[in-house]
Amino acid sequence: MSSSTILNVDSYSHKVQTQISKDKTIVSCDEYNNLSLGLFIEMSSPHDTFSILEVFDSNNTELDSKISENDTGAMMVSLNPDLREVKSNTQSEIIFLIDRSGSMAGSRIEQAKNALQLFLRALPIGTLFNIWGFGSSYGKMKTDSIAFSNKTLKETSQYVNNITANLGGTEIYPPLRELLQPSLKEIPRQIIILTDGEVNNTNEVLEIVEKRIGDYTRIFTFGIGEACQRLVSGIALNGKGKACFVNSGERIEEIVMEQLQYILQPVLTKIEVDWGSLPEIERPLPLFVPPLYSGSILRFYTFLRNLKDLPTTSHITIKGYIGEECLTWKLAFELDNFKLIRGSIIHKLTAQNIISNMEKEPNKYKEEIISLGTKYSIASKHTAFIATTENTDTPVTGGMESVYISPKQSRIEIEQERTAQRVHDIYKDMAALIDSQSDLLDSIEMNISSASMNVISGQNEILDATELQRGLLDSIAGTISSTGKSIGDFFSNMFGSPAQKMETSSNSPQGSDHFGPQTNSLQGNTSHSQSVSKGSYNLPISNSISTPTPGPRASKNENVRPFDTFIILQKADGSFSLKKLAEDVFRTPLPDLIAPIPLWLENIIQNKKLLHKVWATALAIICMENKFPDERSQWVLLQKKCQQYIVSIAPSVDMKTLLDAAQLFYKRAFDSK
């Protein structure tokens, strides 16, 4: 049992009504949509460990304190520990999988690089890591993951600076297939994906993630701009991670750093459960216990026999390890104070968990799977069920209807998906309009052929897909307009005047929010192009080599903020260099930063080199708080590493006193300028 109670229940996918009482909470929903039901349940003590004992009753009688001679039972124990403040030295592996396709060119790849620099500096020393990039092909920084250190950070930082969006299209299946190959390494691994694209084999991608994810790997995805909702959400859902979306115009760094705080939390491994003196446990579950991440819930299930012989008191003990430290949770079982539940839900969940373990060797346990599956109505590799009607006199009529149930989504993600569908409909209507204007096809074909795909000779550079979309719209609108046949009404019904939209976006360095970077001209000498197929709307591809005149692009400097320049000064151990701070931040001679070092700090740290690094790191903490308050969510992990470094060098230093001294110097330094 648990002392935790339900405080509130809400849903991000449906409108629900909640009735909360002492013994139960009833949630009802009158709204129907194609979204899976998602609930937020607020508990008074969410990290309590608790158990539920259910006496089997197919009629699902709610509560009964009496146990009869033939009763069988099933027990569930729920573990949801708060591991956020637990210090961890467990080795883990982090793989960054970055979309380097053409559509990431410009501000998106630059922000992704900034995010990578932040990612790296938040990693604990010794963490295994690697950077993969994908497009039409894929590659990786190192053949195998390397340990994080000051040396590898310096090398990797230079590698990140040289990353470009030059790998063509978006093909994520091949790198995922290699990443998810079975491994003998039993260490927690996180795969972090940044992408703005969509693929034509989404089902295959989601399937391979679901089949190969394993027990030690999680996948976190970040969809940028017009990234495919189903792909990004589905990979995270099947990969036991979380999906986040970054709207066009938003900075990537803040969102990914907030998520990294969750990714880097300690991991509980080598978990075992001891059921104590509970009688005749048939098969304690799970047989294999996966690692437990902070914020996740682990549930143990078992069938019990001879409930009449239940002890008056007993203890259930769960233990696991974070690094070398053993953590233990003890759950008291007192029969007199235990509220027994009659029903079948816990029994079904227990059977499902047993079957899930057996399905790792389905042929070996075929008979057991069939027996449990048929007894508790559990679908498995060897069992399936068909719904039938009891009234056989009335024939069932009507056709089959397929309903797509989308992955778990927030309300913002739902709106994004609806917007994406609306844009898709616009393109469909536009293609139909073009197809109906047969007298314009020849003119349009010639104009848009050079906009479809221009290959610059000798450079293997292909135009971004977003530039292609805008170029096509520009050419189509211009061609139809030149003939005197207006399509203004068509565009205004969808998203306003196309001419006005394009003019506005062409004046912006980063182009339109939806269609991406704008080019001033997509003209070129076209010798021959493939014909447009009426009814199929295939885009013509130019067979000639032409050089487009690019419009204004966002330069690299426009995407690098002062904060990015500052944070790159941090080393892998969390420290800063006093010399670098003097040159790049305070812009003052080094002796001006050495002079104000407190005498009491000099007495504690005798080594001058370490003294300077500790003082520089304290100044860096104050710089973060004073110069970059708006980027707090991005530097909170980096500041934590700063403090950990100071404590590792000088455990006796009072942090508040040190930071007060640094704050006083900072104020004087900048007030005088």
For the chain, what are the domain ranges?
A: 1-45, 47-86+267-376, 93-263, 411-556, 561-671
Q: What is the mean pLDDT of residues 462-487?
A: 47
pLDDT of 408 above 90: no
**Percent of the residues in the chain that have a pLDDT greater than 70, as a whole number:** 68
State mean pLDDT over 320-332: 84
DSSP string of 66-125, one letter each residue: ---TT--EEEEEEE----TT-------EEEEEEE-SGGGTTHHHHHHHHHHHHHHHHSPT
Q: DSSP assignment, residue 397?
A: -
* More confident site: 339 or 668: 668
**76 or 449, greater pLDDT:** 76
Whether 187 and 91 have beta carbons less than 8 Å apart is answered as yes
User: Is the pLDDT score of 526 beyond 50?
Assistant: no
Indicate if the pLDDT at residue 93 is higher than 70: yes
Q: What is the pLDDT of residue 178?
A: 94
Contact 522, 450 (CB under 8 A): yes
Give the ranges where 74-147 is alpha helix by DSSP (H): 107-122
Residue type (1 letter), 586? F
Q: Is the peptide bond before 286 cis (omega within 30 degrees of 0)?
A: yes
Please tell me the predicted confidence (pLDDT) of residue 546.
Answer: 27
Average pLDDT over residues 408-419: 51
Residue of 228, 166, 181, 168 whose CA lies nearest to 201: 228
The pLDDT of residue 307 is above 50: yes
pLDDT at residue 540, as a whole number: 31
Q: Rounded to the nearest 5°, which phi and psi values hold at 224? A: -110, 130
Please state, in angstroms and rounded to a whole number, the distance separating the CA atoms of residues 225 and 154: 31
Task: Please report the pLDDT score of residue 188 as a whole number.
Answer: 84
Query: pLDDT at position 98, please?
Result: 94
Lowest-confidence region among 45-59, 229-243, 533-547, 549-563: 533-547
Candidate from 19-23, 30-34, 180-184, 581-585 with smallest mean pLDDT: 30-34
Query: β-strands 50-56, 73-79: how paired?
Result: antiparallel
- For the chain, what percent of residues have pLDDT higher than 90? 26
Residues 6+ apart with CB under 8 A from 568: 117, 121, 157
How much is the mean pLDDT over the chain?
75
Sign of the dihedral defined by the CA atoms of residues 100, 104, 109, 110, in that order? positive
> Which pLDDT score is estimated for 96?
95
Distance in angstroms (rounded) separating the CA atoms of residues 110 and 246: 14
166-183 mean pLDDT? 90
**Span 609-630, average pLDDT:** 95
Nearest CA among 433, 438, 435, 464 for reference residue 451? 464
- Average pLDDT in the 184-204 region? 85
Q: What is the CATH code of the structural domain delimited by 47-86+267-376?
A: 2.60.40
For 416-468, how does the pLDDT look when each residue is reduced to its tens digit (9 = 90+)? Answer: 555 555 555 565 566 665 555 544 445 444 444 443 333 333 333 333 434 44
> Would you say residue 409 has pLDDT above 70?
no
3-7, 40-44, 348-352 — which is least confidently predicted? 3-7
Element at 615 (helix H, strand E):
helix 608-627
**Which residues are within 8 A (CB) of 133 and not within 5 positions of it... i.e. 6 or more apart?**
97, 98, 99, 100, 139, 140, 163, 167
The pLDDT score that the predictor gives to residue 437 is 54
Residue 267's pLDDT is 78
Q: Give the pLDDT band (50/70/90) at residue 378.
A: very high
What was the pLDDT predicted at 425? 58
First-to-last alpha carbon distance for the chain, in angstroms, is 63
Whole-number pLDDT of residue 497: 35
Where do the DSSP E strands lie in 230-323? 243-246, 267-274, 292-293, 298-304, 313-322
Nearest CA among 339, 356, 354 for reference residue 54: 339
pLDDT-wise least confident of 81-90, 407-416, 418-427, 664-673? 407-416
Is 171:233 a contact under the CB 8 Å cutoff?
Answer: no
| Mean of pLDDT values over 207-225 | 87
At residue 268, the pLDDT reads 83
Look at residue 424 and give its three-state secondary structure. Answer: helix
pLDDT value of position 571: 94
The pLDDT tens digits for 355-373 are 888 887 778 889 989 999 9
CATH classification of 93-263, choosing from 3.40.50.410, 3.30.70.2860, 3.40.50.920, 1.10.287.3510? 3.40.50.410
pLDDT of residue 516: 29
Asked if 304 and 281 touch (Cβ cutoff 8 Å), the reply is: yes
- Name which of 204-218, 243-257, 263-277, 339-353 the model is least confident about: 243-257
| Token pair listed for 346 | 């816990």
Helix (H, G, I), strand (E, B) or coil at 219: strand
What are the structure tokens assigned to 301, written together?
């299930």
pLDDT at 567 over 60: yes
Helix (H, G, I), strand (E, B) or coil at 181: coil
Average pLDDT over residues 206-227: 86
Residue 299, SS3 per DSSP? strand
Within 8 A by CB and 6+ apart from 296, the residues are 80
**pLDDT score for 603:** 94
Greater confidence (193 vs 269) lies with 193
Mean pLDDT computed over 84-96: 77
pLDDT score at 146: 95
Least confident of 1-5, 168-172, 411-415: 411-415
What CA–CA distance (Å, rounded) separates 72 from 58?
12
Res. 499: pLDDT tops 50: no
Mean pLDDT, range 405-426, rounded to an integer: 54
pLDDT over threshold 80, residue 251: no
